[in-house]
Amino acid sequence: MKILVAVKRVIDYNVRIRVLPDGSGVETDNVKMSMNPFDEIAVEEAIRLKEAGTASEVVAVSIGPARSQETIRTALAFGCDRGIHVQTEQPPEPLAVAKLLAGVVAAEEPGLVILGKQAIDDDSNQTGQMLAALLGWPQGTFASELVIGDGVFDVTREIDGGLETISINAPAIVTTDLRLNEPRYPSLPGIMKAKSKPIEAKTPADYSVDVAPRLETVTVAEPPPRPPGRMLESAAELVQILREEKGVL
């Protein structure tokens, strides 16, 4: 079985976001970029399936500006076999990404596509579900466990009240939640090997997909600040304030 994993280049999760003064977005110049953490989990899961002999080949695909290639290289250093880069000027919206991925799926015919459940930049949480819809495939979203059976995948999903298990037919879409696995660090030999692995360069036109945005960003603003807090001396003082001044107890 071939596995396709989708990876996105985002601002590193440790970076403190700065909103641009003109309200057009957030500062990305000279800011550390990394693979979206949920996509690392997707890559790790695919590599484990390859190591277990379940997957024959793992292909990493990224959609975005030229430097998304760095993120594909990271996926190759993890152990993915080859990469596909669909180059766009701006990071496209989830619907366009899903359409491009559907094009990649049509060409590659994987048995399983694993994606992060959301990217930590736009926090949309849409692409996997949209890809499943476009392909007419079942979806195992927010997975914390994935068991590969004969033509079926049993997916344990993180839902609001606890856990849910569904059984979905191959081919299928799985999106990762935090507890699915703990991604490894790429090894030095892995990083060296990644340099010679192939990355295929594609454009949206290759898949006949219109990536023009449907949403116009009117403005990006800082959230309103909270008023400064007070340090208290004792638990008794806290209880008194919460009870008498704030009336929340």
Pick from 4, 1, 8: nearest CA to 132:
4
Closer residue to another protein, CB minimum distance, 167 or 203 = 167
Q: Is 31 near another protein (CB under 8 A)?
A: no
Sole binder of another protein in the list 22, 29, 150, 216 (CB under 8 A): 216
Is residue 206 involved in binding another protein (CB under 8 A)? no
Cα distances (angstroms) measured from residue 88 to each of 36, 44, 91, 202? 18, 26, 7, 9
When asked if residue 195 is in the footprint of another protein (CB under 8 A), the reply is no
Ranges within 130-149 binding another protein (CB under 8 A): 130-134, 137-139, 141-142, 144
Q: Measured from the CB atom, is 64 or 83 closer to another protein?
A: 64
- Measured CA to CA, the distance from residue 146 to residue 151 in angstroms comes to 13
The site string for another protein over 103-122 (x = CB under 8 A, - otherwise) reads ---------------x-xxx
User: Scanning residues 51 to 70, which ones bind another protein (CB under 8 A)?
Assistant: none
- Whether the bond between 204 and the residue before it is cis, its omega within 30 degrees of 0, is no
Binding part of the chain for another protein, among 49-57, 65-73, 150-158, 190-198 by CB under 8 A, reads 150-158
**Which of 116, 145, 150, 147 lies closest to 41, judged by CA?**
116
- Strands in 42-138 per DSSP E: 57-64, 82-87, 112-116
26 sits near another protein (criterion: CB under 8 A): yes
CA 202, CA 33: separation in Å to the nearest integer? Answer: 22
Q: Does 21 bind another protein (CB under 8 A)?
A: no
Is residue 33 within the footprint of another protein (CB under 8 A)? no
Q: How far is the CB of 66 from another protein (least distance, A)?
A: 23
Q: Using an 8 Å Cβ cutoff, are 86 and 204 in contact?
A: yes
Residue 219 sits in the site that holds another protein (CB under 8 A): yes
Q: Nearer Cβ to another protein, position 12 or 192? A: 12
CB of 13 to another protein, least distance (A): 7
Stretch that binds another protein, among 13-21, 55-63, 79-87, 193-201 (CB under 8 A): 13-21
Question: Can you tell me the distance from the alpha carbon of 241 to that of 249, in angstroms, rounded to the nearest whole number?
Answer: 9
> Measuring CA to CA, how many Å separate 218 from each of 10, 25, 94, 136?
21, 10, 18, 33
